[in-house]
Amino acid sequence: MRLEFPQLPGGRLPSAAALAVALLTWAQPTHAKVTKIEIVSRGPSCIAQAPLPPLCSFGDVGEYEAIAGFATGELDPKDPRNAIIQDVQLAPRNSSGKVEYTASFQLLKPVNMSKASGLMWHDVPNRGGRINIVEIERRNGDIGLSSGWQGDNSGGTAQTNADGTRRTTNEWVRVPVLKGVTGTVFARIVNRSGTSSAPLMVQSNPLPYRPASLDTTKATLTARAHESMTGEVSDETIIPSTDWAWAKCNRVGTETFPPFPGTPDPTHICLKPVPGTGRANGFDGNTLYQVVFTATDPFVLGAGFAAFRDVESFFKFEAKDESGTANPLVVGNARAPAVRWSISRGVSQSGNFLRGWLHLGFNQDEARRQVSDGMWPIIAGRRIALNLRWAQPDGVLELYQAGSEGPQWWARYQDKVRGLPKRGILDRCKATHTCPKVIEHFGAAEVWELKLPIEWVGTDGKKDIPIPENVRRYYIPSTTHGGANLAAGVNPFEARLNPPNCPGNNYGTAVLPGNPIRHTETVNAIRSHFRNWVMTGRLPPASVYPTLRGPQDREDREGDDGDDDDSEGDDRGRRRHRGFLVEPTKAAMGFPDGIPGLPASVPEGATLTRFGNAVEVPFINPVLDYDWGPFFDPSDGSGIPTNFPPRIKRVIKMLVPRVDSDGNELGGVPVVLRDAPLGSYFGWNITAAGFHKDQNCDYTGGVVPFAVRKADRAATDPRPSLEERYGTHAGYVDAVRNAAANAVEKGFLLQPDADALIAQADASNVLK
């Protein structure tokens, strides 16, 4: 029998190794656990570029089409690859004894599949948002796959429309529900004011769990005047059960409800006004409210890990589903899809998902095949809290939110501070020989707010943890979460951004203008390196990030097994060479005094007097070691937490990058706007008002521009003006040109992007 394989661009055939894999895949019985795919829409896919017409054709590759639908699969709970899913043994079974799920998906592919590159990007949605591959990926002929994993059916991950039909415009997965199972849950309401009822939210989505009873005597609602970044609570009071209700009251959105006690509703809390107090109108806008209650019907959310695995496996390996519906990525009569390589990719929450997905062993499917060849967790320095009962995967590591438990590092390393065994994220994939190539990149916001540094140095902060040979790490210094998202047409060299909103759940507004440094150009270079690494084996640049060791003594030790060794030699090396990773104090950082607009306590924090009490206000958001109870596995982040809120056992030591005399970070990859600066760029900002006043403005960055002329510089400002630095506009453009040339040479800027940045700097009004 003759086997047919799709040709690659230029008429090339797959390699002999790829042919052998395809032959084995064809010869063996199908093992993919997607049993059925249903295509519900298929049509052209263009990229909007207003005010210009949409872009619908992409160079030699031509037009793209979007194919959306649903994939139904089943999991064998006895398979060890699935048995790790929390509560899968309790989940409902079908007639075959399997656990079923349905996941949404969207494929983006060339209409003419002979132009396909053979590379598929599998993007992890963020809170239900559908992902489309970008223009350069389409011009390369790449395939895009976006599929659901978050099964809490909450807000952006809702599965149905108002009329009960399945939603086709977002990504979700329908996972099993444990009907009748109850347990303790908590939710928090912050910076809400007035008598309108407040929704229970986790970041931007509603809390997915419902109280087992609307009787308020079976729950506890407390009010807190203040929490420090390390979890110390000030002025906490219990609100009588007669003073609140599970209800909507007054005005909610466009609807009007009766006043307290309102209309019963398990998703909102209505608070009774108390004259003569801070609650004269209901909720106090400067107070945090926390409710602990018994919930019912938890989701088996860990099944979302398996659904993401199986959907990629199906579109990468299988020609058709069990009913004969063809995989849309199969060309003609070929026996296998036109996919030779796949890279899974996620940003922020989605990147955290990937780190947890790999740690729990989901890069191997039930047929023992490696699923992703590459994995790109972007601005994501922890593992998502998904594989536990009552998980809140929308959380962003505010107080009492899980996600920093267990090993956050790739290589095996001892967690001596928390007393956990020597573990690493790659342990399971190493055991099955299914580890992908990994690139991760971060900015400063991940250090200051999203608890990144323990990935680099562990919980004791004493040693640089080695990076395995299949991992590259790039730090984009002095940048906000994901880099500045500038509007189309905004010149980054003259951006004057207003103070942004802090991105947490109703967190507040920042004091400083938003940080304008972008990640876009650096990401373009990383993408190019990653494609080459996965598709041709060409190595990307070496890792670049701040370390305890100085650059003179830098040892990534790629290929090291990661076993930690607290030898005297390491200590002597750290004393001999001052590194770029230091304590979060001004003295250790070398942070300059006198920058206008910054309180004296920023960025290291201080002891302030508030509400008549001295309270600690550290500026960095530290890792907190929580006691979630005896049925929780802190090493895997799995199990059943029973302590709500959890006891804080200890505060983990945090480290940050050193800075230069302007306050800009050292130890990262070259970035043009950072290396030819127009101001001091921070990965942190300051909350202007409300419950979190004076604390870190969640994960958003700020900027304090330099004075234009020496005469304009404040008397306390130690930073030279633009005029003193660059002299003239031409001098500034020369500095940008030199910074761009350096970034190109180091491999972190593509020449077309360098040319564009130089042109933008020349067109800017800097020193004109």
Q: What pLDDT digit, counting tens, does each position of 355-380 carry?
A: 999 999 999 999 999 999 999 999 99
pLDDT band at 388 (very low <50, low <70, confident <90, very high): very high
pLDDT at position 246: 98
The pLDDT value recorded for residue 234 is: 86
Compute the average pLDDT of residues 387-399: 93
pLDDT given for residue 613 in this prediction: 52
578 pLDDT tier (thresholds 50, 70, 90)? low
DSSP assignment string, 626-685: EE--TTEETTTTEE----SSPEEEEEPP--EE-B-TTS-B-SS---HHHHS-SEEEES--
In the three-class reduction of DSSP (H, G, I as helix; E, B as strand; rest coil), residue 479 is classed as: coil
Examine the pLDDT at 551 and tell me if it is beyond 50: yes
* pLDDT value of position 396: 87
Evaluate whether 634 touches 605 at the Cβ level (below 8 Å).
no
**Is residue 26 predicted with pLDDT exceeding 50?**
no
Residue-level pLDDT at 512? 96
The end-to-end CA distance of the chain, in Å, is 73
Query: What span, in angstroms and rounded, lies between the C-alpha atoms of 217 and 98?
Result: 40
Q: Give the SS3 label for residue 169.
A: coil
* DSSP-based three-state secondary structure for 727: coil
The pLDDT value recorded for residue 278 is 78
Query: What is the average pLDDT across 630-652?
Result: 96
Task: Summarize pLDDT for 708-737 with one digit per residue, the tens.
Answer: 999 999 999 999 999 999 999 999 999 999
Tell me how far apart the alpha carbons of residues 675 and 114 are, in angstroms, rounded to a whole number: 43
Instruction: Give the Cα separation of 658 and 428 in Å (integer).
Output: 35
Q: Residue 23 pLDDT more than 60?
A: no
In sequence order, the 6+-apart residues with CB closer than 8 A to the CB of 664 are 477, 478, 674, 677, 680, 681
C-alpha span between 345 and 353 (Å, rounded): 10
Residue that wins the pLDDT comparison between 504 and 655: 655
6-24 per-residue burial string, b: 16 or more CB within 10 A, e: under 16: bbbeeeeebeeebeebbee
pLDDT at 564: 47
Query: What is the C-alpha separation between 599 and 512, in angstroms, rounded?
Result: 11
pLDDT of 571 above 80: no
Which segment of 23-37, 130-144, 176-190 scores lowest on mean pLDDT?
Answer: 23-37
> Residue 151: what pLDDT?
97
Helix spans in 368-433 (H): 427-432
Averaged pLDDT, 611-616: 50
Confidence tier at 193 by pLDDT (50, 70, 90): confident
Q: Which two tokens stand for residue 705?
A: 């521009």
- At how many degrees (to 10) do helices 520-536 and 751-763 cross? 170
Residue listed under structure tokens 């939110």: 401
Comparison of pLDDT for 46 and 575, the residue scoring more: 46
For residues 676 and 674, what is the distance between their CA atoms, to the nearest angstrom? 6
> Would you state the structure tokens that stand for residue 270, as one six-digit string?
């209505």
* Bridging pattern class, strands 288-296 and 210-211: antiparallel
What is the spatial distance between Cα 592 and Cα 172, in angstroms, rounded to a whole number? 47
> Rounded mean pLDDT of 408-423?
96
CB 299 within 8 A of CB 152: yes
Contact 301, 152 (CB under 8 A): yes
When pLDDT is cut at 50, 70 and 90, the band that residue 25 belongs to is very low
> 130-139, 260-269, 543-552: which range is least confident on average?
543-552
Is the pLDDT confidence value at 451 over 70?
yes
C-alpha 71: how far from chain center: 25
Residue 294 has pLDDT above 70, yes or no: yes
Residue 600 predicted with pLDDT over 90 = no
Residues 206-242: pLDDT tens digits?
A: 999 999 999 999 999 999 998 988 999 989 999 999 9
The closest alpha carbon to 240, from 266, 228, 222, 258, belongs to 222
609 vs 544, residue with greater confidence: 544
Who contacts 143 (Cβ-Cβ below 8 Å, separation ≥6)? 107, 108, 109, 110, 116, 117, 119, 120, 121, 133, 329, 338, 339
pLDDT digits (tens, 9 = 90+) for 647-683: 999 999 999 999 999 999 999 999 999 999 999 999 9
N residues, the chain: 768
Short-list 282, 240, 284, 239, CA closest to 260: 282
Query: Rounded CA gap, 363 and 375, in Å?
Result: 10
What is the per-residue pLDDT for 489? 84
CA angle, corner 283, sides to 279 and 284, nearest 5? 70
**Residue 563 scores a pLDDT above 90:** no
CA dist., res. 351 & res. 341, Å (int): 19
pLDDT band for position 618 (cuts 50, 70, 90): confident
pLDDT score, position 334: 93
